[in-house]
């Protein structure tokens, strides 16, 4: 990661080209594919936020569902219980969504501050187990309806209404409209993550991943730095969480807070490659489209975990730097950079 | 004479074993000081006490670091002591293997400042940071391998990265732990020259432990001898070589 590149290509033009494709895509794609692409964007942010902690800082969290689902639940409950009584006239649904989204991210942050403080005291598998425990605790509290507002294992509906802005009707729940809401949030969020990963903070994070003892010997307060990375990672995961809840129109403990949700960014990141910024995004893209591809074949669909597991196995064994490592290798070959092995 | 590092009755016990036994020394900024002693003499424990990796059972450590005042640093965590100006290079290669040599040094440059908390500035395009890092690479003879991943360096160059990392924090004192460990004679000679040169060209005070007695005699202004945790000699190379306790410790009792 010594230069600012994406898959071996200059970063800025590559990112702008990708953005242009993303802006045009919903006008070309059928509605369902726009929906799938919306999910890809959210998952990419989820995995990239997660990877700030895993690939960059070297801490494998197995509890990111608590930020993803926690933020989603805060948004959903606000929209259900508070939004209808807000006094913004025709603009109420839009304003309510914005407030709920900010609230959701704040809730994820509020969870991350104490949980991170405690978790970074441990390393490796112990850190993973501790984050898993906190996340399952939240799952259980929500599942048992402990707070009285989460509706237990049935979950809650997250429905966006139509706003009336001076006679102009804006329906956020429209697939294409909501796609652009997601793009409008995910693109700057990814840009900020990119800047963080290329900042002195990001460089020091990598040093901690490589050798935390040496980093502390050079004057880095390692736990404090890890804590900071943990909270930042949770903030971006929370942003992904508030975007996904209205996309799926529902929240439930099983689909939002269960440990299998924490496993998703792990799988996407390992698949795409944790040691580059773009790896988790590539992972999210492949993860979602391979999953879609499998649904096209009923026989494969019946055993989709088996198909998926085999693919991951092949990547992990033959391309330790993930699909993004393979792609970068291919780009380097084509551009004649020689290129190291993937 | 300016004392940069001082211990007072520094003691560390591991159960019944006393690894460092009431050691009181003063390290002068004008001198290169070597700490020698047979295996198990307590050199590494002594370093760990100075750098904060271990807490002493008793006694105190003082450092005249960036502040210019002699401060009591006993019991502070390693990163805090490093912030105050004490840096350490390890006996084993202990760098950031997955990062380039340049990035290794960049990390060290930002680590003792608040820059390590900067989230949105770009380190790639920071010319000041690059120049400062390249100065350190020039000093340590690593300029040619700046873009190489540290994991792929030769053993001799990895040893130099150890020293470059310590120097890049702009420390008052560097503790070198067996800088020529595992080196062939020509690499060792190069390392000795490098340390001498760094001692002359920088304000940093060097303290080293070493097994190679010839090197110690060549490079040191003062030698401290530890034996079973006790400081048994403290003097110039000539004084120490003439000291009977020292020959006894190394060669055993004369029959």
Query: For B213-230, what is each residue's pLDDT tens digit?
Result: 888 888 999 999 998 889
| B69-73 average pLDDT score | 92
Give the span between the Cα atoms of A259 and A251, in whole angstroms.
15
Written as six digits, the tokens of A331 are 């780009």
Check residue A303 and give its pLDDT. 87
CB–CB of A211 and B51 under 8 A?
no
Spatial separation of the C-alpha atoms in residues B99 and B103, rounded to whole Å = 6
What pLDDT was estimated at residue A342? 42
pLDDT of A339 higher than 60:
no
Whether the per-residue pLDDT at B252 is higher than 90: the answer is no
Q: Please state the pTM of the whole predicted model.
A: 0.91
Residues B36 and B33: their CA atoms lie apart, in Å, by 10
**Higher local confidence (pLDDT), A305 or A51:** A51
pLDDT at B212 over 90: no
* A196 vs B: CB within 8 A: yes
Residue from the list B87, B96, B115 with its beta carbon closest to the beta carbon of A207? B96
* Rounded Cα gap, residues A95 and A89, in angstroms: 10
Determine the pLDDT at residue B253.
Answer: 64
If residue B231 lies in a helix (H) or strand (E), which one and from where to where? strand B230-235
Contact B111 A215 (CB under 8 A): yes
**Where does the pLDDT of residue A2 fall: very low under 50, low under 70, confident under 90, or very high at 90 and above?**
very low
Which of A2, A195, A209 lies nearest to residue B103, judging by beta carbons?
A2
Dihedral-angle region of residue A279 (phi above 0 means left; psi in -120 to 50 means alpha; beta otherwise): alpha
- What's residue B114's pLDDT? 82
- Predicted confidence at residue A64, as pLDDT, reads 96
Give the pLDDT confidence of A237-255 residue by residue, as tens digits.
999 999 999 999 999 999 9
pLDDT at A101 over 50: yes
3-class SS at B70?
A: strand
Neighbours of B120 (CB within 10 A): 11
A174 touches B: beta carbon within 8 Å: no
Among A77-81, A144-148, A209-213, the minimum mean pLDDT is found in A144-148
Query: What pLDDT score does B54 carry?
Result: 93
Coil, helix or strand at residue A154: helix
Residues A256 and A142: their CA atoms lie apart, in Å, by: 10
**Do the Cβ atoms of A216 and B96 come within 8 Å?**
no
Taking the CB of residue A256, how many other CB atoms lie within 10 A of it?
26
pLDDT value for A337: 63
> Looking at the predicted structure, is the pLDDT value of residue B91 above 60?
yes
- The mean pLDDT value for A137-155 works out to 91
> How many Å lie between the alpha carbon of A201 and the closest alpha carbon of chain B?
5
User: How confident is the model at residue B254, as a pLDDT?
Assistant: 59
**Contact: B111, A219; criterion CB under 8 Å:** yes
| The pLDDT of residue A340 is above 60 | no
Q: What is the pLDDT at residue B85?
A: 93
Reported as a pLDDT band with limits 50, 70 and 90, residue A91 is: confident
Provide mean pLDDT across the span A309-319.
87
Q: How far is CA B13 from CA A127, B35, B194, in A?
A: 31, 20, 36
Percent share of chain A, pLDDT over 70: 97
In angstroms, the CA A85 to CA A96 distance is 10
Mean pLDDT score across all residues of chain B: 89
CA distance B136 to B103: 12
Helix, strand and coil in chain B, % to nearest 5: 40, 25, 35
Q: In the prediction, which pLDDT does B255 show?
A: 56
Q: How far is the alpha carbon of A207 from chain B, nearest alpha carbon, in Å? A: 6
At residue A303's C-alpha, the angle toward residues A252 and A260, to 5°, is: 30
């Amino acid at each position: 990661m010594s230069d600012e590149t994406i898959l071996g290509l200059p970063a800025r033009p590559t990112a702008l080209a990708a953005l242009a494709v993303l802006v045009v895509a919903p006008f070309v794609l059928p509605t369902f594919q726009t929906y799938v692409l919306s999910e890809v964007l959210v998952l990419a942010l989820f995995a990239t936020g997660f990877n700030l902690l895993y690939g960059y800082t070297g801490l494998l969290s197995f509890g990111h569902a608590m930020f993803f689902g926690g933020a989603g639940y805060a948004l959903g409950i606000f929209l259900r219980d508070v939004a209808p009584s807000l006094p913004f006239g025709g603009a109420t649904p839009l304003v309510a969504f914005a407030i709920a989204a900010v609230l959701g991210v704040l809730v994820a942050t509020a969870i991350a501050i104490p949980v991170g403080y405690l978790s970074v005291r441990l390393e490796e598998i112990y850190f993973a187990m501790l984050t898993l425990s906190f996340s399952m605790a939240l799952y259980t509290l929500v599942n048992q309806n402990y707070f009285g507002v989460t509706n237990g294992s049935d979950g809650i509906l997250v429905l966006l209404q139509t706003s009336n802005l001076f006679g102009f009707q804006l329906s956020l729940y429209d697939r294409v409209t909501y796609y652009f809401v997601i793009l409008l949030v995910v693109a700057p969020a990814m840009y900020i993550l990119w800047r963080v990963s290329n900042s002195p903070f990001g460089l020091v994070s990598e040093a901690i991943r490589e050798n935390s003892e040496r980093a502390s010997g050079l004057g880095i307060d390692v736990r404090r730095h890890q804590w900071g990375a943990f909270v930042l990672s949770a903030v971006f995961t929370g942003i992904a969480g508030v975007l996904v809840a209205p996309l799926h129109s529902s929240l439930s403990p099983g689909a939002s807070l269960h440990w299998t949700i924490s496993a998703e960014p792990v799988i996407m990141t390992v698949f795409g490659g944790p040691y580059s910024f773009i790896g988790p995004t590539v992972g999210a893209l492949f993860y979602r489209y391979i999953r879609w591809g499998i649904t096209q074949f009923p026989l494969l669909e019946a055993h989709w975990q088996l198909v998926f597991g085999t693919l991951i196995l092949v990547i992990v064994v033959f391309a330790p730097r993930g699909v993004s490592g393979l792609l970068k290798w291919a780009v380097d070959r084509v551009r004649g950079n020689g290129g190291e092995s993937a | 004479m300016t004392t940069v590092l001082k211990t007072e009755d520094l003691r560390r016990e591991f159960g019944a074993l006393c690894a460092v036994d009431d050691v009181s020394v003063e390290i002068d900024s004008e001198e290169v000081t070597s700490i020698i002693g047979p295996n198990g003499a307590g050199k590494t424990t002594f370093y760990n006490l100075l750098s904060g990796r271990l807490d002493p059972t008793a006694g105190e450590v003082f450092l005249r670091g960036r502040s210019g005042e002699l401060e009591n640093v006993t019991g502070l965590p390693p990163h805090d002591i490093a912030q105050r100006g004490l840096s350490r290079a390890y006996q084993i290669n202990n760098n950031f293997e997955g990062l380039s040599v340049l990035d290794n040094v960049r990390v060290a440059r930002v680590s003792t400042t608040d820059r390590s908390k900067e989230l949105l500035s770009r380190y790639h395009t920071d010319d000041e940071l690059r120049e400062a890092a390249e100065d350190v690479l020039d000093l340590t003879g690593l300029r040619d391998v700046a873009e190489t991943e540290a994991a792929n360096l030769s053993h001799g160059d990895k040893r130099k990265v150890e020293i470059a990392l310590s120097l890049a924090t702009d420390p008052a004192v560097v503790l070198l732990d067996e800088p020529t460990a595992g080196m062939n004679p020509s690499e060792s000679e190069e390392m000795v020259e490098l340390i001498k040169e760094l001692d002359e060209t920088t304000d940093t005070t060097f303290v080293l432990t070493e097994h190679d007695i010839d090197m110690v005699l060549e490079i040191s202004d003062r030698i401290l001898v530890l034996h079973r945790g006790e400081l048994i000699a403290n003097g110039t190379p000539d004084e120490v070589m003439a000291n009977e306790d020292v020959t006894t410790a190394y060669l055993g009792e004369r029959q």
